[in-house]
Structure 1
């Protein structure tokens, strides 16, 4: 489901800052070899992420769900020279590191392999931005487990929160991902200690901060 008129979306992309050549190459390769290439965050969302990082002056980012490494590279390029992206996934594509290495910002990325609910426990320190774009059934678990790791002025960016509009449908035990997203969206929006802004960008993006910051 398209939440924004395709012509308007194209116009917005055409009038936004373009991704780097390294990001373009990784995006093109992903679309050529990955059957699920639609999972990429895309140019519009990537530009939004880069702007959020610049505006917040983030230095340390946690990403849950690496996929082909495109979003990690987009975020790394927006960080200052001392910045770091820690990205977690159960597997890494065999070509991902080579594309990161083609960018002068690739050294800012640290990949940790394994189930995220386990590897999160090995992390230390605070993160200025936490990007969740992994298995939907664990979204709430990921957020609850990383909430103490968010810096005082940090933010969560949560992808796919509108799930092609399926979050509007009645809850169904036959669709675990949709049901989990409905629970997640209801939970975060009901919390008085969280400030949530849901944007109809691509498949829906929620920005979540601790209230009072």
Structure 2
């Protein structure tokens, strides 16, 4: 869902740095041929992610929720040659699609896929990371945020997608997923020592950085 009229979003995309050819091919293939293509982030979100990664001189990224790999590729394109994206997902079929497109890109070598449940994968990772993109199972959003906060580098940024959830977050008790997103948003709001902003881009992007 987008809270901005499509023609306005299209105008914004037109006036932003354009996606690479491989990224566009992946987006078009996903929209045309893959079930659940509404899970794909939009080009505007991708543009924001790349901007933040470049601005923050990010080198290490954790992504929760790979789907067909568009966001991982977009972020890898913004990294320096020695940068790394670790992306985590459960679905072997969509992950195969992702890998097939990453292999077409010179930036694909920066991407490592962990094919297992999110919390299980995170338990295997050590150290600090510069950037987190949370876009996986909504019920675990609060847990993913907790882990990211503990492993965030001093100048790191956390971005969580779908934090407006088609507007359902305005009402408590709608369903478990909505309540989990509301819990994530409240946790973020109450954080001390962090700068936070919830942007109405697409279905909501929550940005968090240490102050």
Q: What TM-score do the two structures reach when normalised by structure 2?
A: 0.95
Pairwise CA distance, 1:91: 2.3
Alignment of 1:122-161 (within 5 A): 122-161=124-163
Pairwise CA distance, 1:188: 1.1
Secondary structure of the structure 2 residue equivalent to 1:186: helix
Pairwise CA distance, 1:191: 1.8
**1:177 corresponds to:** 177
Pairwise CA distance, 1:35: 2.3
Q: In the alignment, is the contact (CA less than 8 A) between 1:65 and 1:134 conserved in 2?
A: yes
Any idea what the Cα deviations from partners look like across 1:167-211, whole Å, max 9, x if unmatched?
Answer: 112x12x5111111111111210122332100000000010112x
Q: For structure 2, which runs of at least 5 residues remain unmatched after alignment?
A: none
Pairwise CA distance, 1:20: 0.2
Q: For structure 1, which runs of at least 5 residues remain unmatched after alignment?
A: none
Alignment of 1:81-96 (within 5 A): 81-92=81-92, 93=94, 94-96=96-98
Change (3 A) 1:208 1:32: same
Secondary structure of the structure 1 residue equivalent to 2:100: helix
**1:114 corresponds to:** 116
Q: In the alignment, is the contact (CA less than 8 A) between 2:145 and 2:184 conserved in 1?
A: no
Secondary structure of the structure 2 residue equivalent to 1:95: helix
Q: How well do the aligned residues superpose, as a CA RMSD in angstroms?
A: 1.2
Any idea what the Cα deviations from partners look like across 1:139-166, whole Å, max 9, x if unmatched?
Answer: 0101112222110000100000000111
Alignment of 1:1-213 (within 5 A): 1-92=1-92, 93=94, 94-169=96-171, 171-172=172-173, 175-210=175-210, 212=211
Q: Within 2, Cα distance between the matches of 1:175 and 1:68?
A: 26
Any idea what the Cα deviations from partners look like across 1:99-129, whole Å, max 9, x if unmatched?
Answer: 1000000000000111110110111221110
Q: Within 1, Cα distance between the matches of 2:77 and 2:129?
A: 17
Q: What TM-score do the two structures reach when normalised by structure 1?
A: 0.94
Q: Within 1, Cα distance between the matches of 2:7 and 2:168?
A: 23
Q: Within 1, Cα distance between the matches of 2:87 and 2:134?
A: 10
- Equivalent residues, number: 209
Pairwise CA distance, 1:87: 0.4
Secondary structure of the structure 1 residue equivalent to 2:43: helix
Q: Within 2, Cα distance between the matches of 1:123 and 1:2?
A: 34
